């Protein structure tokens, strides 16, 4: 049976649920959303995965629906799991609830959890796969890269002037980016599980490194604050307060830092460090996504957005692929900023792993 218009709408809603900000995601967990529809295409219940150890999206929706789940269609962003981990298999929950049909977007590539479709069909449940698969694949990019590379996915965020400066000659940087860009940054921070800066950024800028809403209120769930570098942290820095957990990674090696975070179960690092830290990750080819906020201003001097990469000719320039360009409207008379989103950056150096040296 082909998918219906109601199922398309439900899948778009499920994708939105899956991307709910503030949900802690670690190395072996996925962002998943689920919507239950009745025979007339009306929503019976919806749910999403809220982090390790919590019910999966299907189980969440089924619990909300109760007895009304019988005979429904489950529209879910990922193939229901056939695996017992922190929670039981979603396939068993769907069968037990009497769900009639399952429509999912993306096949589960994790061999430990895969095989859900076969189990559902064997139980007599109608299954349709691939609805809005491209949209689901984009959402799952972080998980796929982390699983393949066995390290956290790295998003590098920078705010820069038109001439590539992140701060003026006197060190001031508030504000290069606009209010809208800073709000957008908090939205992206909430989709990561770790924010990473260098000790220099902590010493000079004293960032709070938390997720806050448009009114400045802290989110209920905060990413880990990770500080990388060998120097001690001044005891009065705000990153050492109780607003979120903070870890000091006493290394200058980005491979070692990511290995430590991966071993701690971290899946997505949001890199907000200064030019030295950014250059280290770029040289190593450890930047999977670039989010650049460009402000309509010139400084002519000051701090560059990235330190020396050792590139001496234009032919050797790093050239990430632009995947999105969005104009962020000005707020309260501010000029708009432009957000560029770009794909993985190839390494300047030969990649290595700290365990190999």
Q: Give the pLDDT confidence of 30-46 residue by residue, as tens digits.
A: 779 999 999 999 999 99
Query: Does residue 326 sit in helix, strand or coil?
Result: strand
What's the whole-model pTM score?
A: 0.74
Query: Could you tell me the pLDDT band of residue 273, with boundaries at 50, 70 and 90?
Result: confident
Mean pLDDT along residues 265-289 = 92
The confidence score (pLDDT) of residue 28 equals 57
Q: Which residue has the higher pLDDT, 27 or 61?
A: 61
Residues 6+ apart with CB under 8 A from 290: 155, 156, 158, 320, 340, 341, 342, 343, 345
Q: Which residues are catalytic?
A: 58
Mean pLDDT along residues 139-147 = 80
Mean pLDDT along residues 303-311 = 92
Q: pLDDT tens across 74-119, in order?
A: 999 999 998 777 778 999 999 999 999 999 999 887 776 678 999 9
Number of other residues whose CB lies within 10 A of the CB of residue 223: 26
Residue 357 clears pLDDT 50, i.e. is over it: no
Residue 309 near residue 279 (C-beta atoms within 8 A): yes
Distance CA 322, CA 340 (A): 7
Mean pLDDT along residues 144-170 = 91
Residue 254 near residue 269 (C-beta atoms within 8 A): no
Distance CA 236, CA 206 (A): 9
Query: Could you tell me the pLDDT band of residue 344, with boundaries at 50, 70 and 90?
Result: confident
The confidence score (pLDDT) of residue 356 equals 44
Residue 198 clears pLDDT 90, i.e. is over it: yes
């Amino acid at each position: 049976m082909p998918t219906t218009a109601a199922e398309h709408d439900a899948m778009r809603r499920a994708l939105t649920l899956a991307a709910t900000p503030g949900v802690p995601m670690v190395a072996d967990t996925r962002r998943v959303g689920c919507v239950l529809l009745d025979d007339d295409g009306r929503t019976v219940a919806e749910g999403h995965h809220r982090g390790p150890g919590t019910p999966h999206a299907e189980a969440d929706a089924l619990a909300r629906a109760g007895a009304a789940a019988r005979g429904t269609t489950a529209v879910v962003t990922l193939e229901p799991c056939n695996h017992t981990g922190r929670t039981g298999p979603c396939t068993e929950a769907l069968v037990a609830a009497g769900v009639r049909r399952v429509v999912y977007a993306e096949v589960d590539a994790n061999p430990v959890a895969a095989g859900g479709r076969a189990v559902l069909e064997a139980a007599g449940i109608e299954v349709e796969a691939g609805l809005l698969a491209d949209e689901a694949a984009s959402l799952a990019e972080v998980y796929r890269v982390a699983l393949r590379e066995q390290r956290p996915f790295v998003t590098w965020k920078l705010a820069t002037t038109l001439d590539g400066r992140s701060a003026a000659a006197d060190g001031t940087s508030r504000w290069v980016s606009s209010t809208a860009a800073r709000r957008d940054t908090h939205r992206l921070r909430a989709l990561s599980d770790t924010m990473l800066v260098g000790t220099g950024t902590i010493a000079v800028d004293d960032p709070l490194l938390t997720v806050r809403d448009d009114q400045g209120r802290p989110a209920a769930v905060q990413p880990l604050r990770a500080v990388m570098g060998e120097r001690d942290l001044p005891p009065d820095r705000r990153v050492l307060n109780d607003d979120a957990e903070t870890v000091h990674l006493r290394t200058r090696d980005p491979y070692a830092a990511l290995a430590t975070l991966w071993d701690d179960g971290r899946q997505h690092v949001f890199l907000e460090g200064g030019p030295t830290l950014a250059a280290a990750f770029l040289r190593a080819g450890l930047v999977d996504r670039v989010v650049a906020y460009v402000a309509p201003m010139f400084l002519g001097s000051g701090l560059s957005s990235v330190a020396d990469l050792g590139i001496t000719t234009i032919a050797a320039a790093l050239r990430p692929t632009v995947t999105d360009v969005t104009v962020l409207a000005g707020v309260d008379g501010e000029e708009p900023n432009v957000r560029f989103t770009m794909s993985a950056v190839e390494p300047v150096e030969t990649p290595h792993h700290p365990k190999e040296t």
